[in-house]
Chain A
Amino acid sequence: GEDVEQSLFLSVREGDSSVINCTYTDSSSTYLYWYKQEPGAGLQLLTYIFSNMDMKQDQRLTVLLNKKDKHLSLRIADTQTGDSAIYFCAEINYGGSQGNLIFGKGTKLSVKP
């Protein structure tokens, strides 16, 4: 079945770049998403990419998509302590809509001052 996998932890120093990686299984996914969850809060969409794109840049965020390898990455430039959170990669469940997402387990990003 469909699955989304990502590493569970990442620790970086303030000012460095962070790269969070994700692999997915459904090659027919039209959208791939990155969501952020801060402690005690719901999820917030950070960015998304259409499957016909290789890269998307949005201020400090860069998303790279390798469809051949089904690999998605999120790069955060100049990482700040306020970026400490859990980051989830997600794809649309096969045959579903944007309301029916398969999420990875989340990568907990810790930013050290």
Chain B
Amino acid sequence: KAGVTQTPRYLIKTRGQQVTLSCSPISGHRSVSWYQQTPGQGLQFLFEYFSETQRNKGNFPGRFSGRQFSNSRSEMNVSTLELGDSALYLCASFPGGGSTGELFFGEGSRLTVL
């Protein structure tokens, strides 16, 4: 069974640009969450989607947005990039509904903003 797949793995952008990151969850998983990981702030929750609906949102500015498609694949977008957006963005999936509690993480997309 394929794991959570994130693309691209690495990317470099300049300030003011925008970026779209993609996440394909494990087959059959209907919930997808996104996290930002930085050395200073650690892991911070961005948002969670279930069946194409945003279920929860973290404390990030409106420049950060996301969506989920009918096949459960998810994308997140960051507009007007700032230097502080440089981070590892991690996607995680789980079946949704009643489950054991495990989140399955992808390897992340490492974004560098110059």
Contacts and interface: CB of A to CB of B under 8 A. Distances in A.
A45 interface: yes
A101 B103 contact: yes
Interface string A20-48: 00000000000101010000111111001
A99 B105 contact: no
B42 A99 contact: no
Interface size class of A (residues with CB under 8 A): 20 to 34
A112 B64 CA distance: 41
Interface stretch (A11-19, A64-72, A73-81, A103-111): A103-111
Interface residues of B, number: 26
Interface in B37-68: 42-43, 45, 48, 50, 55-56, 58
Given A93-B45, A99-B92, A42 B56 contact: no
Interface in B49-102: 50, 55-56, 58, 90, 92, 94, 99-102
Q: Which of B45, B104, B107 has the most CB of A within 10 A?
A: B45
Contacts of B24: none
Secondary structure call for the B interface: strand
Given A42-B90, A100-B33, A88 B101 contact: no
B102 A100 contact: no
A23 to B, nearest CB: 15
Interface in A82-109: 88, 93, 96-106
27 contacts: A35-B105, A40-B107, A42-B4, A43-B92, A43-B105, A44-B105, A48-B100, A88-B43, A93-B45, A96-B48, A97-B48, A97-B56, A98-B94, A98-B99, A98-B102, A98-B103, A99-B31, A99-B33, A99-B48, A99-B56, A100-B56, A101-B45, A101-B103, A102-B45, A103-B35, A103-B43, A104-B42
Interface of B: 4, 31-33, 35, 42-43, 45, 48, 50, 55-56, 58, 90, 92, 94, 99-108
Interface of A: 31, 33, 35, 40-45, 48, 88, 93, 96-106
